[in-house]
Amino acid sequence: DIQMTQSPSSLSASGGDSVTITCRASQSINRNLHWYQQKPGKAPKLLIYAASNLQSGVPSRVSGSGSGTHFTLTIRSVQPEDLATYYCQQSYSYPWTFGQGTKVEIK
Amino acid sequence: QITLKESGPTLVKPTQTLTLTCTFSGFSLSSNGVGVAWIRQPPGKAPEWLALIYWDDDERYSPSLRSRLTISKGTSKNQVVLTMTNMDPVDTATYYCAHRGEDSSSVAEYLQHWGPGTLVTVSS
């Protein structure tokens, strides 16, 4: 199985800050990397697909980059509604696997 | 508008078989390229992908759970069923179904639309 490792596990940011979450794959996955946001008590929601494509309806202050084994999710000008846990997920090979998550808290 | 919803028992006993149904609307599982996946998430943990069925009846499973899982199209055209045998307390989780999306340029697959999930507790 391909292992996905996210860092940091948690972070705290003030409103207006920019935050960056990193996801590393245990082997190259090209651009088969996706990002999800999960708010407490809710299902995960797709933010970014294929490393850098913004899902419809997601604000443009969210962006993704990377390829191969190293990927990043950046949220500019963090807002209170960004309080959530963020997961990366690879679909390069079965079984599809998720990172362990990054919990974002707003100061 | 694509929607999905999971249904099934909220409590099962150890060794029993779990059967969950995903009822969806807004797409057809007989259309080229369509797929529906099951994912679970134990309390406080990351999601875990379980299985995926494609429009052409191709089935994919998590190797670690393959012997216990079966994914199938339901008797109703807008349903997908997941069965998991020999349930154990460690299988306690929220179970989600999701619609597969695909990026046309890279052919990358992703979980585009999710149901709200259903919490299944395994306890005697």
- Write down the pLDDT at residue B66: 98
Contact A87, A35 (CB under 8 A): yes
- Write down the pLDDT at residue B94: 98
A47, A51, A96: which is closest to B106 by C-alpha?
A51
The CA distance from B124 to the nearest CA of chain A, in Å, is: 25
What is residue B122's three-state secondary structure?
strand
- Write down the pLDDT at residue B58: 97
CB < 8 Å to B112, chain A: 46, 49, 55
- Write down the pLDDT at residue B103: 87
Angle at the Cα of A41 (from B97 to A53), degrees rounded to 5?
Answer: 60
**pLDDT > 90? residue A99:** yes
**pLDDT > 90? residue B75:** no
Residue of A nearest to B51 (CA): A95
Nearest CB among A31, A42, A97 relative to B106 is that of A31
CB-based contact A34 B60, cutoff 8 Å: no
**pLDDT > 90? residue B87:** yes
Nearest CB among B47, B96, B105 relative to A87 is that of B47
CB-based contact A46 B61, cutoff 8 Å: no
Counted across chains A and B, CB pairs separated by less than 8 A come out at 73
Contacts of B63 (CB under 8 A, 6+ apart): A1, A94, A95
The CA distance from A47 to the nearest CA of chain B, in Å, is: 9
- Write down the pLDDT at residue B11: 98
